[in-house]
Structures are given as structure tokens and as C-alpha cells.
């Protein structure tokens, strides 16, 4: 294949939004992740609790789940019912600990992306009483 064509192919792949390595994609395929969840993960979008539970049910290792979630900067605000549900669903304890730690993990200087429309979202740096 000519060198300019290879370069063009690499640039095209860089802009497709695919953020998972080939081995990560293969791991998800080997665990038979649903098509919708697979597509969402290919775009590296934050996951809902039900999707995290699905990954766990499909046997995706806890460290892989945490490794995927970390660069999304998604902040989860879990209550006792959420934690109990995760535990009853067999989600690894390390994943639950990570989810519980997200509100305190990000400093304002890191400028994480916040998602206001999720019931588990909490922005620790915004206080409505100040305004």
C-alpha cells in the first residue's frame, strides 16, 4: 500500500471516534456485550449503572471497567440503594469503590466534563446557594 494512502487511513481512523484499542474491542466482543453498549463504548461515552451491571454480568473484569470509566470523568452520585443494587448484581467491589469515589476525584483545574441530565450526577464544585 502506498505511504500516502496509509497515512490517510490512519488519519481517518483517528477521527472516527473509536477510542478503544483492538484488544479492548476484542475483549468486549468475546464477552458478547450488547450492540448498543458496544457502540456506546466505541464512542467512549459515560455508562449508566445498568450498563455497568451488564458488563459485570457478561464477565468483563472489574479493572477493565474502571479503566474504561476513568477517562470519561463522569461523576456518579450513588445512594445506599444504588450500592446495594450493584452488590446484589455482582459488580466487583473495586468498581463500586471507584463509582463512590468519583465525586471527590476531580479538581476544578482538571475541568472534567459534567453531565447534568443524569440522576446519579453531582457536581461538587457548583453550589446553587451561591447564586
Residue 12 has pLDDT above 70, yes or no: no
Q: What digits encode the pLDDT tens for the residues 73-106?
A: 888 989 999 999 999 999 999 999 999 998 888 6
Give the pLDDT of residue 78: 92
Give the pLDDT of residue 15: 43
Higher pLDDT, 95 or 116: 95
Instruction: Report pTM.
Output: 0.68
Higher pLDDT, 22 or 125: 22
Exposure string over 56-77, b if 16+ CB within 10 A, otherwise e: beeebebeebbebbeebbbbbb
- Count CB neighbours of 49 within 10 A: 18
Q: Give the three-state DSSP class for 28.
A: helix
Mean pLDDT (the chain, rounded): 78
Amino acid at each position: 500500500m502506498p505511504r500516502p494512502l496509509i497515512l490517510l487511513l490512519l488519519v481517518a481512523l483517528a477521527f472516527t471516534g473509536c477510542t478503544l484499542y483492538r484488544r479492548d474491542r476484542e475483549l468486549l466482543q468475546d464477552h458478547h456485550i450488547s450492540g448498543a453498549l458496544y457502540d456506546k463504548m466505541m464512542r467512549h461515552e459515560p455508562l449508566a449503572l445498568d450498563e455497568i451491571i451488564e458488563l459485570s454480568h457478561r464477565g468483563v473484569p472489574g479493572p477493565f471497567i474502571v479503566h474504561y470509566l476513568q477517562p470519561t470523568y463522569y461523576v456518579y452520585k450513588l445512594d445506599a440503594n444504588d450500592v446495594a443494587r450493584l452488590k446484589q448484581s455482582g459488580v466487583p467491589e473495586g468498581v463500586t469503590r471507584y463509582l463512590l469515589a468519583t465525586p471527590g476525584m476531580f479538581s476544578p483545574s482538571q475541568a472534567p466534563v459534567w453531565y447534568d441530565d443524569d440522576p446519579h450526577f453531582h457536581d461538587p464544585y457548583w453550589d446553587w446557594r451561591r447564586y
